């Protein structure tokens, strides 16, 4: 059966929060991370934090099949700190999650395409993020260095990608990419581990 025939993409509602965090936890959980971090993933805690700080509610989507949430993507506010100290607003996305048993059937791609179109319609200028360099170019991403943008710490590498949503938005923008402050202030393994205690034991 082609799941794409029965998939419905819609905005996330408050009542979906728990189901979405459980889904995110299932998608990202890795046994190796338990040994390293004390918790199998921190992305469900990341979603929780983004809802409070810098998350973009109008770009927070779930993919549903017969009432069951099988995929999710959330976006957040970020900016480029330009060499002249001006800030250029951009958006970031992630985590992007699909339940393991529904992966590789096009749901992640459907969520990406749908949310990118919505972001364009809502007038956002550009997206940047860190992700898999083999998966994301299919949506139009290129390496951020092509726009003269580095990470906050001045680096470039293939996993650091960017895409204009408005043509020319990143032209002449040289600077450093600064993500939501949750990454500096909120997101650490101790807090993630504590938060994970609210979920069933894996």
Ligand X SMILES: CC(C)(COP(=O)(O)OP(=O)(O)OC[C@H]1O[C@@H](n2cnc3c(N)ncnc32)[C@H](O)[C@@H]1OP(=O)(O)O)[C@@H](O)C(=O)NCCC(=O)NCCS
For ligand X, the binding residues (CB under 6 A) are 27-28, 94-98, 103-109, 131-132, 134-135
> Looking at beta carbons only, is 29 or 88 nearer to ligand X?
29
Closest among 46, 115, 102 to 71, alpha carbons compared: 102
CB of 5 to ligand X, least distance (A): 15
CB of 171 to ligand X, least distance (A): 27
Between the CA of residue 68 and those of 23, 59, 115, 170, 202, what are the distances in Å?
A: 10, 19, 19, 38, 21
Distance between CA atoms of residues 33 and 42, nearest Å: 9
> Looking at beta carbons only, is 75 or 79 nearer to ligand X?
75
> Looking at beta carbons only, is 73 or 80 nearer to ligand X?
73
CB of 76 to ligand X, least distance (A): 12
> Looking at beta carbons only, is 27 or 126 nearer to ligand X?
27
Report the residue number whose CB is nearest to ligand X: 108
CB of 29 to ligand X, least distance (A): 9
89 near 119, Cβ under 8 Å?
Answer: no
For the residues of 43-111, what is the DSSP string, one character each?
A: HHHHHHHHHHTTEEEEEEEEEEETTEEEEEEEEEEEEEEETTS-EEEEEEEEEEEE-GGGTTSSHHHHH
Distance between CA atoms of residues 2 and 13, nearest Å: 26
CB of 84 to ligand X, least distance (A): 32
Closest among 50, 52, 100 to 75, alpha carbons compared: 50
> Looking at beta carbons only, is 76 or 97 nearer to ligand X?
97
CB of 87 to ligand X, least distance (A): 24
Write out the two tokens for 195.
């938060």
> Looking at beta carbons only, is 68 or 132 nearer to ligand X?
132
């Amino acid at each position: 059966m082609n799941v794409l025939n029965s998939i419905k993409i819609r905005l996330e509602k408050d009542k979906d929060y728990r189901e979405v965090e459980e889904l995110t936890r299932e998608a990202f959980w890795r046994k190796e991370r338990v040994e390293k971090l004390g918790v199998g993933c921190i992305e469900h805690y990341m979603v929780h934090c983004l809802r409070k700080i810098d998350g973009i509610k109008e770009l927070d989507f779930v993919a549903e099949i017969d009432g069951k949430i099988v995929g999710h993507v959330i976006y957040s506010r970020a900016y480029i700190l330009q060499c002249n100290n001006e800030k250029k607003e951009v958006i970031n996305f992630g985590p992007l999650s699909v339940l393991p048993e529904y992966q590789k059937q096009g749901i992640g791609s459907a969520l990406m395409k749908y949310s990118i179109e919505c972001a364009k319609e809502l007038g956002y200028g550009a997206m940047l993020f860190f992700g898999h360099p083999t998966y994301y170019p299919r949506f139009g991403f290129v390496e951020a260095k092509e726009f003269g943008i580095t990470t906050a710490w001045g680096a470039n590498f293939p996993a650091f990608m960017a895409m204009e949503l408005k043509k020319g938005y990143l032209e002449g923008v040289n600077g450093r990419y600064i993500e939501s402050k949750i990454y500096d202030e909120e997101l650490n393994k101790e807090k993630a581990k504590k938060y994970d205690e609210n979920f069933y034991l894996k």
